[in-house]
Amino acid sequence: MASEVYVYLSIGSNIFPRGVYLATIRKALRERFGGIVKESSIYETTPWGFEADLPFLNQVVLVRTSKSPVEVLREVQDIERGLGRHRDEGGYSSRTADIDILLYGEERISTPELQVPHPHMLERRFVLAPLAEVDGEGVSASSGKSWRELLEACTDKGEARRTEDPAGQERAMMTSVVADGGATTAKWVSVDATGTKCRYTSRGMNPLYVDADGVEREVRNIFGDEYFRLGVGRVSFYGAACGENQRGDVLLEGLQRVFPLAEVQVDSDMVMAAIATWGHGAEVPHGGGIVAILGTGSNACYLDRGKPVYVTPSVGFLFGDEGSGAWFGKRIVRDWLYSALPKSLEEGVRTMLVKDFGESSLEEMRGMASIVERAYHGVHPSAWFSGFAKVMEPHRGEEYVSRLLAEGFGEFARFFLQPLKEKGGDEVRAVGSVAWYYRDALGAACERVGMRLGKVVKDPLGEVVGW
């Protein structure tokens, strides 16, 4: 294994949000080099060799690594590219991210792509001021003088003064993005500093069925503009299987690649449901409250002062998700395959199957192995089944649909709500399209187990962001 050396790096930015760019560079350096040994204060400095709207913010950071000089160069250039810097820019210019290798141990390197020590570092106050702070008694091999002495003798007329880190204030001026990551679709809202909101929709991103690369591809499809993505300071993603000890790290990694400057938070869809129905805790009674999700999947949890403290274990759509779109859709497809579905619903099922498999007679479709193949091996099977639940809505007054709703919500109340009632809560508030469209049947199921249905929200994201 190669021995480790100390590497001094100069980092800077003079494009808004300068402080956030510096914070993101430091974060990336920690991840790639196993930490930062030492870092200077932040200095506001005069642009060197050109005029600009904003002065630079600069720092010197010290890392320790066994990577070769060329490997270090590749790492810092990769960080720059991820932050919108392209080194084909000619001459001196404003930059989102500027990272220079000042010193690599005691080595001298002179190649077309890398010169170390940096050939101009002794001429530039924006380098010497933070370097003297980090290692004032360190000595320049070429001059024999300390960095502090070289700073005092520097003839550069540019300013370099210590300043407070503006990253926190800058984030408040950046765009925020909030997402409700359902299994079928993910809904997004961006809110800029003026309060202007925009909606976006993507395919669902359940981390049980998608990896970080898939998350990145899908999110880049809707937020493709680099300028917009670099203007996002916060991302809050709420989704299924994203709670504590689940798979939220998949979403976190993918989102951080797309929004490199943002503070990214990934949390359970239960947290968003709790905020949408109960607020931030002020409305939750002292004895606690219950929130339910009934969309593509189903779940419920008990709240204490607005925070989920007990979630009914979910066993997924293959074994459970009672009362969800996937549960109802699975029953409808099953009954259709057995020729047990009322004729009034058959046309709706046929229309959906034609969309997937092409025109055929009902008899031919019932014999198609591809339907079973789609259910077992297709992409997002729960979302596919959930689509068939929509055929119930125009026929909600018919006996078949009434019985199916009573059974599905009855099972949901039995397995999800009754265990939570024993915790002390009796009011259920719910989110999701299934809960919204069939709230009367859901309310009746709650009453049958001695509970009552309160507020029902179709679109929790809209409720949270005030759409």
CB 69 within 8 A of CB 101: yes
Q: Report how far residue 404's alpha carbon sits from residue 396's, in angstroms, rounded to the nearest whole number.
A: 10
Nearest to 235 by CA among 222, 245, 49: 222
Contacts of 205 by beta carbon, 8 Å cutoff, 6+ apart: 181, 186, 214, 215, 218, 239, 251
The counts of H helices and E strands in the chain are 20, 18
Residues identified as active-site? 85, 95, 98, 100
Q: Report how far residue 377's alpha carbon sits from residue 164's, in angstroms, rounded to the nearest whole number.
A: 55
b (16+ CB within 10 A) / e for 130-155: bbbbbbeeeebeeeeebbbbbbeebe
SS3 398: coil
- Token digits for 12? 């800077």
CB 56 within 8 A of CB 13: yes
How large is the C-alpha radius of gyration of the chain?
Answer: 29
